[in-house]
A and B are shown apart, each in its own frame.
Chain A
Amino acid sequence: MIGAKPARKRPSKLLDNLVYGLVWLACLAPLVWLAWRGFTGDLGANPIETLIRQLGVWGLRLLLVGLAITPLARILRMPRLVRFRRTVGLFAFSYIVLHLFSYVGVDLFFDLGQLWKDILKRPFITLGMGAFLLLIPLAVTSTNGWVIRMGRATWQRLHWLIYLIVPLGVAHYYLLVKADHRPPLIYAAVFAVLMSWRIWDRVKRT
């Protein structure tokens, strides 16, 4: 971040760790903030709904941040930014796990019969659950070991699933909104921009 020019030399280990720590803190901040609001009773009249909604929205935001890293790294000529994709992606996954847990465990109170009915009958839950299931293999194979085991090309192809997962997440959000569709449409627009860059980039390179 500090070396705005393309860095020839690796930045110092200390600086590296510092930047890494900042990224961690930034990813953790919404959760800390939510927990704080929870403890101080500041989640409003319907705290469970607020919690579920906020965890879901932050999961989606971090997925989009993850998708923005590659374009940013290229545009800013800061290739080492790419190393944050795993951190951001795993944080996104964590938020989504908590989002799902607060729906199944807190909202439904582990009423698995109701959960199954919801999955079958509520398109927004079907889509959300689908997106979550597709995320699991990505989270599992996020380690260096898995990249080596699978081979770079296969691993890459598996992780293209994210281009399906994010629109599923946006659709999941869109379908639960009552009338004001602007927020999910904003996420859809951000996704569209990030995908357009990728298409443009690919066309340019061939």
Chain B
Amino acid sequence: MLIRNAPDLTENEVTDHGLYLRRREFIGGAAGLGLAGLAGTAGAAPLRYSRGFSTTEKPTPKDDVTTYNNFYEFGVDKGDPAENAGRLTTRPWTVRIDGECEAPRTVGIDDLIKANKLEERIYRMRCVEGWSMVIPWVGFPLKDLIASVKPTSKAKYVAFETLMRPSEMPGQAWNVLEWPYREGLRIDEATHPLTLMAVGLYGETLPNQNGAPLRLVVPWKYGFKGIKSIVRITLTEKQPRTAWNVSAPREYGFYSNVNPAVDHPRWSQASERRIGEFRRRETLPFNGYGQYVADLYRGMDLKKNF
């Protein structure tokens, strides 16, 4: 499949100018990591990456991307994660990849970042609540990670799990959702070239409130499918449990593809407010990625498989 690079983005739309000016300082990897303490956001380190598939839309300001978050492990208000996630320890951090595969493994986050060629992907993000953003992620395709464990023919789905650590995640003290947070994809969705494992945004490592150190980004699905702070990825034969589906099966399906024609039982999904804009805009099927992903669902009733 062909995924084009957006031709009309200027560099300063995707890279912070200060970061750009200091490019020589951190190009060279190890030296770059040494700069972590000097970078703008506390704890954020610049990343090396190339430019990948991107929308040409204007990215949402970093301030909004990092202060308006749904990450219930840190509280249910959208300002809570930015306030409470600072105490999360993201090093050391390991991710276990297992299940229906020949080479299960446990890998440290820094090894994972080093082993993969990072690229920037500027994606639209549509929340099930009716708002959206445009976010310059940095990451690598999930399919590379899945290929590395050699899935067997029984690997039909991929299950993801967030860290369970109530001492650093105050929201886990109370079961507003089933903890740990779980998400899942069908294997063909997981290995689709657009499906991204993100380790950064705006050129730097992920802020904790955005799912540090490793999160999933599936741009044609509602935002809650993008599970944060992942510690386990399991290839499974059966469709895995997913947190919001367990919480309210009538309202949140396993697929949760962005679909303006299928309303949430309590509110319309026909339009959305792009953060920073005044008027609502129309929501696009598959969040505008239909030309790349609609084939995955050929022949399926998307009203039933919402």
Contact = CB atoms under 8 A, between A and B. Distances in A.
Interface in A104-162: 107-109, 114, 117-118, 121-124
Nearest to A106: B278
A179 B267 contact: no
B266 to A, nearest CB: 6
B148 interface: no
B275 A122 contact: no
Interface stretch (B64-72, B85-93, B104-112, B286-294): B64-72
A177 to B, nearest CB: 9
Interface stretch (A1-9, A12-20, A42-50, A64-72): A42-50
Contact of A45 (B64, B177, B247, B266): B64
B280 to A, nearest CB: 7
Nearest to B177: A179
Interface in B135-192: 176-177
Contact of A176 (B177, B263, B266): B266
Contacts of A122: 266-268
A48 B268 contact: no
A121 B176 contact: no
Contacts of A180: 76, 176
Interface in A35-85: 44-46, 48-49
B67 A45 contact: yes
Chain B interface mostly:
loop
Contacts of B76: 179-180
A2 B260 CA distance: 59
B268 A44 contact: no
Which residue of A45, A108, A114, A117 has the most chain B CB atoms within 10 A of its CB atom? A45
Nearest to B66: A45
Interface residues of B, number: 25
Nearest to A108: B280
B72 A179 contact: yes
A45 B129 CA distance: 14
B273 interface: yes
B179 to A, nearest CB: 13
Contacts of B131: 46, 49
A147 B38 CA distance: 69
B79 A123 contact: no
Given A175-B266, A178-B129, A46 B273 contact: yes
Given A178-B129, A179-B176, A44 B267 contact: no
Contacts of B96: none
Which residue of B63, B266, B280 has the most chain A CB atoms within 10 A of its CB atom? B266
B240 to A, nearest CB: 20
A44 B267 CA distance: 22
Interface of B: 60, 63-64, 67-68, 72, 76, 78-79, 129, 131, 176-177, 247-248, 263, 266-268, 273, 275-276, 278-280
21 contacts: A44-B67, A44-B68, A44-B79, A45-B63, A45-B78, A45-B275, A46-B131, A46-B275, A48-B278, A49-B273, A121-B263, A122-B266, A122-B267, A124-B267, A176-B266, A176-B267, A178-B129, A179-B247, A179-B248, A180-B76, A180-B176
Given A46-B131, A122-B268, 15 more contacts: A45-B64, A45-B275, A46-B275, A48-B278, A49-B273, A114-B268, A117-B268, A118-B268, A121-B263, A124-B267, A175-B266, A176-B267, A179-B76, A179-B248, A180-B176
